[in-house]
Amino acid sequence: MKKRLVIGNWKMYIESPEEAKKLASALKRKAASYAGVEVWLAPSFTLLPILKGTKLGGQSVSAHAGGAHTGDVSAKMLKAAGATFAIVGHSERRAAGDSDEAVHAQLAAAAGAGLAPVLCVGELVREASGAHFSFIEAQLMSALRGAQSLTARLVVAYEPVWAIGKTAQDAMQPAEVEETVIFIRKTLAQILGRKEALRVPILYGGSVEPDNAPKLVADGGVNGFLVGHASVEVDSFIEILKACRK
Ligand code: 13P
C-alpha cells in the first residue's frame, strides 16, 4: 500500500451547507501540508451534492436497490450524489439496529454499485479472556461471506466501540491496535485469500486525535485512520493527516 488513507466521518456534527463548505475549503487550502495522504470525507447524505472535488462517501447505505424503503438511501443514489465509497457496519448504525445480516447486504449493495465499502468492525468491550478476537472474526466472516468477488476496493476500519468518542488518553494503545490489525489481516486472508488480504487497507478508529495519531501510525500497524470528532476540527484533522505522511 503506497499512500495512507484517512477518512473523516463527520457523523451528524456538521449540519449546514455553510459549515460543510467552510470545513472542506479549509482542508483544501492546507492540502500542501499533508501531500501524499489520501483523504476521504463522509458527510451527511444531504451535504454530498454540495462538496464536489473531494472524495466523498455515505456514512451508511441501504441494503436495497430501490423501492418502498422510506428513509433509506441506495448505493445508486449515493453515486448520483457524488459518492465513491460507503461506510457499512459503523457501530452507531449497528446500535441503531443494523444486524450482521443487514451489514452483509449493505456491503454487497455498495460494492455491487461500484462504491468502495468501508467495513467497520470492533468489539463492544475488551476482556482479558480475548473474546474480542472471536467477536471481530465473526463480524468479518458474516459481512464478507460470499462477497469475495465484490471486495476489490474493500477497506476495513477497526473501531473498538469502547474507545469511540473519548480522548486520546482513553483510546486504544498502539501495541493492542497492532495485535488486532494482524489478527484482522489473518482473518481476511482466510476469507479472501492471502494476496487479496494484503491489499486491503486496515484503518483504526476510536478517539484518534493529534496527541495519539503519530504513535498509532508508527506502532499500530495501520494503513490510516477513520476519524470522528477530530475530523470536524480543522487544525486537529490537519495534524492527524500530517502524522500520516510517509
Ligand atoms: P471518534 O474519533 O469521535 O472517537 O469517532 C470514531 C468513529 O466512530 C469514526 O467512525
- C-alpha–C-alpha distance, residues 202 and 196, integer Å: 13
DSSP character at residue 114: T
- In which band, very low, low, confident or very high, does the pLDDT at 19 lie, cut at 50, 70 and 90? very high
Please answer whether residues 162 and 124 qualify as being in contact, where contact means their C-beta atoms are separated by less than 8 angstroms.
Answer: yes
49 vs 242: CA distance, rounded Å: 27
Atom of ligand 1 nearest to the CA of 87: 10
Q: What confidence tier does 147 reach under pLDDT thresholds 50, 70, 90?
A: low
- Rounded Cα gap, residues 158 and 240, in angstroms: 17
Residue-level pLDDT at 180: 97
In this prediction, residue 134 carries a pLDDT of 96
To test the ligand 1 pocket, which listed residue (226, 231, 232) has its Cβ within 8 A of the most ligand atoms? 226
Q: What is the pTM of this model?
A: 0.97
Residue 151, pLDDT above cutoff 80: no
Distance of CA 68 from the midpoint of ligand 1 (Å): 31
Q: What does the alpha-carbon distance between residue 182 and residue 66 come to, in Å, rounded to a whole number? A: 38
Q: Biggest alpha carbon distance in the chain?
A: 48
| Residue 227 alpha carbon to ligand 1 centre in Å | 5
Grid cell at residue 231: 475530523
User: What is the pLDDT, as a whole number, of residue 190?
Assistant: 94
**Domain segments of the chain: what residues?**
4-244
Q: Grade residue 91 by pLDDT with cuts at 50, 70 and 90.
A: very high
Q: What is the pLDDT of residue 2?
A: 80
Task: State mean pLDDT over 175-190.
Answer: 97
Q: For the purposes of burial, counting CB atoms within 10 Å of the CB of 66, is it exposed (0-12), middle (13-18) or buried (19 or more)?
A: exposed
Is a pLDDT exceeding 80 seen at residue 90? yes
Report the mean per-residue pLDDT for the chain: 95
Give 4-244's CATH code, choosing from 3.20.20.70, 3.40.630.30, 2.60.40.1180, 1.10.10.10: 3.20.20.70
Phi, psi of 86 (to 5 degrees): -145, 135
Residue 149 has pLDDT above 90, yes or no: no
How many whole angstroms separate alpha carbon 170 and alpha carbon 126?
Answer: 13
pLDDT tens by residue, 124-133: 998 888 899 9
Probe target for ligand 1 pocket from 6, 7, 11, with the most ligand atoms within 8 Å of CB: 11
Q: How many A from CA of 180 to the centre of ligand 1? A: 17
Mean pLDDT value across residues 89-103:
97
Render 195-225 in DSSP notation, one character per residue: HHHHHS-EEE-SS--TTTHHHHHHHS--SEE
Residue 90 is among the residues annotated as catalytic for this protein: yes
The 10s digit of each residue's pLDDT in 185-223 is 999 999 999 999 999 999 999 999 999 999 999 999 999
Which grid cell sits at 121? 468492525
Closest CA to 98 of 121, 82, 67, 130: 121
Question: Residue 185 is inside which H or E element, if any?
Answer: helix 174-192
DSSP-derived letter for residue 127 is -
pLDDT of residue 146: 83
